Amino acid sequence: MRTVTFIAAFLLATTAGATTLTTGIGFGLNALDCRVLNASTKPVEVDSVTIFDDNGIALSTSSNCTFPGQILPGLVCSVKIQSTHYGRCVIVTKGNAKSIRGTLLLFGTGLGDAETILEAR
């Protein structure tokens, strides 16, 4: 019982102060691309950026950033999957969430312009 109590306390302590931003769920015929922008003048620490399917399962993605890690001012990180899925983007940060803008781009028949863009809140 002590082990369970310790683990629960540890998990609560490690997530304290974290902010979660999420998009609604959408359908990407060819790809889903979660983009995270640091709109501030200082680096922002981002713990994770994950695309979950409609069953809550984290999808295998590719990214141009490493998390946990910093996003420098004015830069965008992209986490994407190129296949047919329903999905949503979840961004977890201990930084200033007001400095982060997150979107999920949903691509249809091609990989040109996104057909739908969902905003993270």
Q: What is the pLDDT of residue 3?
A: 44
Element (H, E) at 11: helix 2-15
Is residue 84 one of the residues assigned to a domain?
yes
pLDDT of amino acid 10? 37
User: What six digits make up the tokens of 101?
Assistant: 């803008």
Q: Is residue 57 situated within a structural domain?
A: yes
* 112 within domain boundaries: yes
User: What is the number of structural domains in the chain?
Assistant: 1
Q: Which pLDDT score is estimated for 90?
A: 98
- Find the domain containing 84 and state its range: 18-119
Is 2 among the domain residues? no
Q: Is residue 44 part of a domain?
A: yes
**pLDDT at res. 113:** 75
* Within a domain: 99: yes
Is residue 81 included in any domain, yes or no?
yes
User: What per-residue confidence (pLDDT) applies to 114?
Assistant: 81
The low-confidence residues of the chain, meaning pLDDT below 70, are: 1-16, 110-112
Q: What is the pLDDT of residue 111?
A: 61
Q: Concatenated DSSP letters for 42-95?
A: S-EEEEEEEEE-TTSPBPP-EESS-SSEEE-TT-EEEEEE-S-EEEEEEEEESS
What does the alpha-carbon distance between residue 94 and residue 45 come to, in Å, rounded to a whole number? Answer: 6
Q: Is residue 33 part of a domain?
A: yes
CATH code for position 81: 2.60.290
Q: What is the pLDDT of residue 63?
A: 95
Task: Give residue 5's pLDDT.
Answer: 38
